[in-house]
Amino acid sequence: MRRLASTTIVLMALLLATLAAAPGVSAQATDEHPAVGVWLTDGSPEDTTDPLDLLTVAPGGSATIALPDGTAYGPWAATGERSVDATFLIPQSDPEAGLVGYATIRTSIEVAEDGQSFAGTYTIEFPASMAEAMGLPVGQQVGPGTVTGQRIAVEPMGEPVPFPEEPVE
């Protein structure tokens, strides 16, 4: 029994050491990953009327999406030199039905070689209670969808244009 416990401890230590040394898992890898930054994203590039979202990918593995109807938060992990997987939770509620929960957005993206754009896929899963109340199956109902992103670059401030003193008609 002792041998089994010590073997298990050694195996767990080796697994943790392997994960810590794996590309994309270390803090340094996430701090320097090309996905880190602020992006203007399009979750339905084929629909030109759909509003764009703002995605912030922070060093250390956290990310935020500002959507038109709420904010999603979650972790991200590098899966390669330019690829990332992320999971986001966004609050969902239907006060009339008394349903509350979090929709889950799962995504995988690949940053372009120039670091200025990305492309990827995503799925969305609604809270089980909401899906059942809407007559939908429980699980990832939306997707895989296509997502694209353009990096927002720092721009120098320009010369302010004064407002006219009289209203323009």
Angular region, 48: left φ>0, alpha ψ -120 to 50, beta rest: alpha
The region of weakest confidence among 17-31, 48-62, 96-110 is 17-31
The region of weakest confidence among 24-28, 75-79, 90-94, 158-162 is 24-28
Residues forming a β-bridge with 53 = 41
Per DSSP, which regions of the chain are E strands?
37-42, 53-57, 62-67, 70-78, 83-94, 99-111, 117-125, 140-151
Does residue 23 register a pLDDT over 70?
no
What's the confidence (pLDDT) of residue 169? Answer: 67
Band of the pLDDT at 134, cuts 50, 70, 90?
Answer: confident
CATH of region 24-151, choose from 1.10.3470, 2.40.128, 2.90.10, 2.60.40: 2.40.128
Domain extent listing, the chain: 24-151
Does residue 139 register a pLDDT over 80?
no
Q: What is the mean pLDDT of residues 113-135?
A: 86
Give the phi and the psi of residue 128 in degrees, each rounded to 5: -55, -45
> Tokens 């979650």 map to which residue?
74
Cα→Cα distances 139→6, 28, 89, 105, 109, Å: 39, 34, 14, 11, 21
What is this structure's pTM?
Answer: 0.71
Percent of the chain residues topping a pLDDT of 70: 79
